[in-house]
A and B are shown apart, each in its own frame.
Chain A
Amino acid sequence: MDADKLQTIRAIHDSFDKKQASVVEVTRHFLDSVKKKGGKDGLNAFLTVCENRVLERAEAADQILRAEGKVPRDRVPLFGIPLGIKDNLTMDGVRTTCGSKMLDNYVAPYTATCVERLESAGALCLGKLNMDEFAMGGSNENSAYGPVLHPTQPERVPGGSSGGSAAAVRAGLCVAALGTDTGGSIRLPASYCGIVGLKPTYGRVSRYGLVAFASSLDQVGPMARTVEDAAILFDVMSGHDPRDATSATVPKGACREALRKAPETQAEWNGIRIGVPKEYFVGGLSAEVEKSIQSSLRWFESKGARVIPISLPHTQYAVAVYYLVAVSEASSNLARFDGVRYGVRPAEAENADDLAAFYRKVRAHFGPEVKRRIILGTFALSSGYSEAYYRRACQVRRLIKQDFATAFEKVDFIAGPVSPTTAFKIGERISDPLQMYLNDIFTIPANLAGLPAISIPSGTETPDSLPIGLHLIAPPFQEERLLSLAHAFEKRGAAP
C-alpha cells in the first residue's frame, strides 16, 4: 500500500480495484494518522475517534469488494472512503460536543441526514472534528477543547469555524470532511489551509441533525483536496429532505457529471462572464492576496472568459447585517441549552433557588464568544431596540440579496478573494471581536443572499507559503456550473 496515493476518492478506488490495499488497511492507515497527528499532541483536529464503528464497516466493505471484484462506484460512490465530520453534525450513538463544554457529555440519538446519506453511499466516518464553539468564530480559537493548529504553520490558525475539518483534510487525516458555513466557516478555513471548500445554496443540503447556530444562514458543505471529491460528496448529500422544513424542493446535485462539461474550447470560454465587484478590492486586502486573485482573473481572461467590473453597492453593510441577524437567531436557538432540554447540569445548579437561577448557573458554562453573541442577539431583539436593529438589518439584507440578483442579470459568476489576508497567528486577534468579525466581509454576503460559493486554492503567500483562496459565487442552485468552472481553474497548471 502506497500511503501517498491515498489522497483522493479516485486514487483510493483505483488501489482497491488493483488489490493494492483492502478497505480495512486503508482505514487503519487513516486511523493511525489521526492518532499520531490529529489529537491534542498534534493538530487537535479530532475530538472523537469512532474506531470500532468504522472498522466494522470497513470489514463489511471488504466482503463486498471480495464478492464483486471491484469497487461498485456507480451504486456506492463513496465506497470505503474515510471522512471526518464536523462536531456540530449528529451521528447516532456518537458524542457531539459542538466544541462546547455545554455538550461535553452529549451523545446524539440520531444521525444527521447529510451524514446518513454519505454513509449509505459507502463513506466511513472516522470521527468528529474540532470547531469554534457552536460554530461561532473564524479562527478555531473559540473551541472549549483548545485551538486547532494550522496544518503547515502550527503557530497560526487554520481558520474557522470548520478549522478541524480543513486542517484534517490538508494534513491527510481524512480524504474529505464535512464543514458548515454560516458566515464563511467552510470557505475561510479552506482558503487558509489550501483546500477546496463549497458552501452550497441555502436549502440544497438538509440541516436535519445540524445543531442550529443561525437557521436562516447555516448550510452544510464538503471540504476536500479536489473539486471532483467535493462534487462527489455534494451530489450524495444534496437533495430534498422532508425532515428539514427549509430543505429546497430541488433535485440532488449532478456535479460530478457536470465536471466533464467544464469549459475547454475557446467558444465555451467566450460564453462565460465573470463579474468582479469593485467593493471586494478595498483597503484591508493584503497585497499578496490581491495579486493572486488578479492573476487568477487574468488566467480566466486568457482562456477567453469575459471578466467584467461590477458593483454590489450594499457590500459595506454586510458585516453589520450579519452580526445582527446571526446573533439574533443564535440567541433564540441557544435558549434550548438550559440544563433541562440540553446542556450539562453542574452540581452548583442543583441548589439554585428557582428555575431562572438554575438556568443562569447552567448557562455560565458557555464560552466567552458564545455569551457575547447571545447578549448581542438578546439586545438586538429586545423591546424598544428590535425595530432599529433586527428589523432594519433584515431590510438591508434584502437590498444585499437584490444587489446579487441585479449583478447576475449581467454575469454568470462573481469572483474575488475569500479573506482579506492569509492565516494569522494564534492569539493575534482574539482580544478584539470587532476586528475578527470584519475578517468575514467577503464570505458573509453569499450567506445573507443564500448563494452557492466556493473557495479554491489560487496561490501562496511568501515566505511561509501560506495558501490563498479564490472565491467564486454563483446564482442559486447552480452548483453544477460553479463546480465545473472551479474544476477548469483547478486544472490550469496541469498538462493538457
Chain B
Amino acid sequence: MADSKAEVQKIDETLTLRVADLARLELSEDEVRTFTPQLRDVIGYVEQLQEVDVSGVEPLTHPLEPGDSALREDRVEIFADLSTEGYRVPQIL
C-alpha cells in the first residue's frame, strides 16, 4: 500500500496531468492550476479515513443485502459437478 500521507504532499501539476491523461481528459493550463490545490485539499481531507480501525471489515460496495434484488434463483444447470463447489468445463490448455 502506498504511504498515503506522503502522497498528499506529492500532488502537484504533473500528477494532475498524469491522472487526467489516464481519464482521457484534456485540461487547459488554467484548469491544471486550479484543480491541483483543490485535489490536494480533498485528498488531504479524506486522509482521516486512515485513522479508522478497519481490520477484519469486509468492504461494502453496495447497500442492498444479498437476496434483496435477485432477478431469479441462481441455478447451475450445465457443466454441473455437484461433488465440488465449482463447476466443470472442458479442458482449455
Chain B residues with CB below 8 A from A395, complex form: 52, 54, 57-60
Contact, CB under 8 Å: B49 / A321: yes
Say yes or no: is B23 at the interface (Cβ < 8 Å to chain A): yes
Q: Assuming the A-B contacts A389-B4, A395-B57, are A433 and B20 also in contact, with contact meaning beta carbons closer than 8 angstroms in the complex?
A: no
Q: Assuming the A-B contacts A249-B70, A371-B35, are A389 and B22 also in contact, with contact meaning beta carbons closer than 8 angstroms in the complex?
A: no
Contact, CB under 8 Å: A391 / B46: no
Q: How far apart are A141's CB and chain B's nearest CB, in angstroms?
A: 15
Closest to B56 in A: A395
Chain A residues with CB below 8 A from B19, complex form: 375, 378-379, 382
Closest to A387 in B: B1
Quick check: which of B36-44, B75-83, B85-93 contacts chain A, the rest being far away?
A: B36-44
Within A35-83, the residues touching B (CB, 8 Å) are none
Contact, CB under 8 Å: A245 / B60: no
Q: How large is the interface on B (under 10, 10 to 19, 20 to 34, 35 or more residues)?
A: 35 or more
Chain A residues with a Cβ closer than 8 Å to the other chain, count: 58
Contact, CB under 8 Å: B2 / A363: no
Chain B residues with CB below 8 A from A314, complex form: 52
Say yes or no: is A28 at the interface (Cβ < 8 Å to chain B): no
Residue from A356, A389, A433 in contact with B24 in the complex, judged by beta carbons closer than 8 Å: A356
Residue from A247, A321, A374, A397 in contact with B23 in the complex, judged by beta carbons closer than 8 Å: A374
Residue from A245, A361, A399 in contact with B54 in the complex, judged by beta carbons closer than 8 Å: A399
Contact, CB under 8 Å: B31 / A250: no
Contact, CB under 8 Å: A399 / B26: no
Overall SS of chain A's interface: helix
A213-256 vs B, Cβ < 8 Å mask (1 yes, 0 no): 00011000000000000000000000000100111111000000
Cα(A95)–Cα(B25), bound, Å: 25
Chain B residues with CB below 8 A from A382, complex form: 19, 22
Contact, CB under 8 Å: A375 / B23: yes
Contact, CB under 8 Å: A320 / B46: yes
Closest to B4 in A: A388
Contact, CB under 8 Å: A401 / B60: yes
Contact, CB under 8 Å: A434 / B42: yes
Q: Assuming the A-B contacts A378-B19, A398-B60, are A359 and B4 also in contact, with contact meaning beta carbons closer than 8 angstroms in the complex?
A: no
Cα(A229)–Cα(B92), bound, Å: 59
Cα(A389)–Cα(B49), bound, Å: 8
Cα(A437)–Cα(B43), bound, Å: 13
Contact, CB under 8 Å: A385 / B60: no
List the interface of chain B (C-beta within 8 A of A): 1-2, 4, 7, 15-16, 19-20, 22-27, 31, 34-35, 38-39, 41-43, 45-46, 48-50, 52, 54, 57-64, 68-71
List the interface of chain A (C-beta within 8 A of B): 202-203, 216-217, 242, 245-250, 314, 316-317, 319-321, 323-324, 331, 338, 356, 359-361, 363-364, 366, 368, 371-372, 374-376, 378-379, 382, 384-385, 387-389, 391-399, 401, 433-434, 437, 448-450
